[in-house]
């Protein structure tokens, strides 16, 4: 299980890694272990309703209400661990939620790393040129059908397909698969096979074409000036790095600290494709960013969320190293719970 910090470590050294859709914190395994060697205490989080986290009922309206289901749970976890502030790293859809967290709780975030965030090309715009097709796609999307639903329907084939997928992902880039690959595949399959909950984030947080329902650009440009690093795969990342670069330039013009970099040869799953190169790219990006000026307000915030409450149900206790913990979050006190 998680601990409240290592001897001699400061809360400034905490790095919280949050996964994208259909993933779990364990998928950061290699990169998290390497990042811990650079002085971070790393926590890899399973979003509420996924992985080893609690499974409250999901009854959220798409958009900010859906985001709050996940972000509020992350804030409860932070308070329970006594973490005063952190660097947060989110991948893909997790980057959208990490941004949501940073804009809602800016005094808690030192820097934010957005790894391959949704920067869709022209799918949504092109779709709107065909009103009937646009309406049909929106209707199907809003039904909340998920890949996990299909896996559950496959019955005994589900675990085998999950194992194959995990093994393939962890052997990309010539990386030797970890000894606990089978355990990680089991965690992923059981996550898919349990009560439907957090998997609904796909249609709740994103619209068709991977367009965030809460406008991503506006949130970054108009929100609190937290320093941001954008990191994309330099190979076949289907997220558009050029849009990320353009957004970073807008943020700089708006007086914000922001950088954009790529991981050579990596695709969208950069932490699986090139885990060690990803660590170097993230480290260099973080070194280029100052700590958030909003942390100066931290003392006045310390009375909020104390840090004395107990940890939640369903944590994943698979520890990668002394300074890497895989964590679940609790549904306790969830406004959207049962």
What does the pLDDT read at residue 206? Answer: 77
Lowest mean pLDDT among 14-23, 25-34, 257-266, 275-284: 25-34
Question: Is 60 exceeded by the pLDDT of residue 10?
Answer: no
Q: What pLDDT score does 12 carry?
A: 53
Q: Please state, in angstroms and rounded to a whole number, the distance separating the CA atoms of residues 264 and 278.
A: 9
Give the pLDDT mean for 298-305.
40
pLDDT at residue 85 is higher than 80: yes
Asked if residue 201 has pLDDT above 80, the reply is: no
Mean pLDDT of 251-264: 95
| pTM recorded for the entire structure | 0.77
What is the mean predicted confidence (pLDDT) over 89-118?
Answer: 95
Look at residue 52 and tell me whether its pLDDT is greater than 90. no
Give the model's confidence band at 319: pLDDT under 50 very low, under 70 low, under 90 confident, else very high: very low
State the Cα–Cα distance between residues 233 and 115, nearest whole angstrom.
8
Give the lowest-confidence range in 162-166, 212-216, 233-237: 162-166
Model confidence at 326, pLDDT cuts 50, 70, 90, reads: low
| Strands of the chain, DSSP E | 14-18, 41-45, 86-91, 109-115, 206-207, 211-212, 228-233, 258-263, 319-321, 324-327
pLDDT of 146 > 70? The answer is: no
Please give the DSSP secondary-structure letter assigned to residue 156.
T
Task: Give percent of the chain with pLDDT exceeding 70.
Answer: 66
Question: What pLDDT, on a 0 to 100 scale, did the predictor assign at position 171?
Answer: 61
Residue, of 141 and 155, whose pLDDT is higher:
155
Per-residue pLDDT, 251: 95
Q: What is the pLDDT of residue 55?
A: 80
Residue showing tokens 């006045």: 300
Cα separations (Å) of 330 from 25, 48, 82, 303, 309? 15, 7, 15, 21, 11
Would you state the pLDDT for residue 205?
79
- pLDDT at residue 186 is higher than 80: no
Q: Please compute the mean of the pLDDT values over residues 35-59 and round it to a whole number.
A: 85
Give the residue from 167, 166, 174, 164 showing the smallest Cα distance to 273. Answer: 174
CB atoms within 10 A of CB 8: 6
Put residue 257 in one of left, alpha, beta given phi > 0 → left and psi -120 to 50 → alpha.
Answer: beta
The predicted model gives 168-176 an average pLDDT of 59
Q: Which of 286, 262, 288, 284 is nearest to 274 (CA)?
A: 262
Q: Which residues touch 43 (CB under 8 Å, ≥6 apart)?
A: 2, 14, 15, 16, 17, 81, 324, 325, 326, 327
Q: How confident is the model at residue 197 (pLDDT cuts 50, 70, 90)?
A: low
Using CA atoms, how far residue 131 sits from 203, 226, 321, in Å, is 20, 38, 52
The answer for residues whose C-beta is within 8 angstroms of residue 133's C-beta and 6 or more apart is 127
Domains in the chain: ranges and CATH? 12-141+195-327 (3.40.50.1820)
Task: Give the pLDDT confidence of 246-257 residue by residue, as tens digits.
Answer: 999 999 999 999
> Strand, helix or coil at 31?
helix
Give the C-alpha separation, 141 to 150, whole Å: 15
Q: Which of 12-16, 29-33, 169-173 has the lowest mean pLDDT?
A: 169-173
- For residue 148, pLDDT over 60 is answered with yes
**Length of the chain as a residue count:** 338
CA atoms within 13 A on the CB side of 155: 0
Q: Cα(203)–Cα(160) distance, rounded to whole angstroms?
A: 27
Closest to 184 in 3D by CA, of 27, 307, 4, 8: 27
pLDDT score, position 337: 38
Average pLDDT value for the chain: 75
Q: Is the pLDDT of residue 203 over 50?
A: yes
Most confident of 5-9, 155-159, 282-286, 311-315: 282-286
């Amino acid at each position: 299980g998680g601990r409240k910090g290592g001897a001699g470590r400061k809360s400034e050294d905490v790095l919280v890694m949050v996964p994208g859709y259909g993933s779990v914190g364990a998928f950061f395994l290699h990169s998290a272990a390497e990042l811990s060697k650079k002085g971070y205490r790393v926590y890899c989080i399973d979003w509420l309703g996924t992985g080893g986290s609690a499974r409250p009922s999901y009854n959220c309206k798409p958009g900010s209400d859906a985001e709050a289901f996940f972000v509020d749970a992350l804030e409860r976890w932070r308070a329970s661990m006594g973490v005063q502030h952190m660097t947060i790293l989110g991948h893909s859809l997790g980057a959208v939620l990490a941004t949501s967290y940073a804009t809602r709780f800016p005094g808690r975030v030192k820097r934010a790393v957005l790894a391959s965030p949704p920067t869709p090309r022209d799918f949504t715009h092109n779709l709107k040129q065909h009103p009937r097709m646009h309406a049909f796609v929106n209707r199907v999307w809003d039904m909340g059908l998920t890949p996990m639903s299909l896996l559950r329907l496959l019955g005994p084939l589900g675990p085998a397909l999950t194992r194959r997928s995990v093994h393939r992902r962890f052997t990309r880039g010539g990386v030797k698969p970890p000894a606990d690959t089978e355990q990680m595949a089991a965690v992923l399959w059981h996550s898919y096979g349990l009560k439907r909950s957090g998997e609904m984030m796909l249609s709740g947080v994103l619209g068709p074409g991977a367009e965030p329902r809460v406008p991503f650009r506006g949130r970054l440009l108009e929100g609190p000036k937290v320093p941001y690093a954008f990191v994309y795969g330099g190979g076949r990342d289907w997220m558009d790095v050029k849009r990320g670069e353009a957004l970073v330039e807008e943020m700089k013009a708006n007086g914000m600290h922001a950088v954009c970099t790529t991981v050579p040869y990596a695709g969208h799953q950069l932490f699986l494709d090139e885990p060690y190169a990803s660590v170097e790219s993230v480290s260099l990006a973080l070194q280029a960013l100052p700590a958030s000026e909003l942390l100066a307000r931290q003392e006045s915030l310390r009375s909020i969320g104390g840090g004395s409450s107990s940890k939640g149900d369903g944590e994943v206790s698979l520890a990668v190293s002394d300074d890497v913990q895989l964590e679940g979050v609790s549904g306790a006190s969830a406004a959207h719970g049962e």
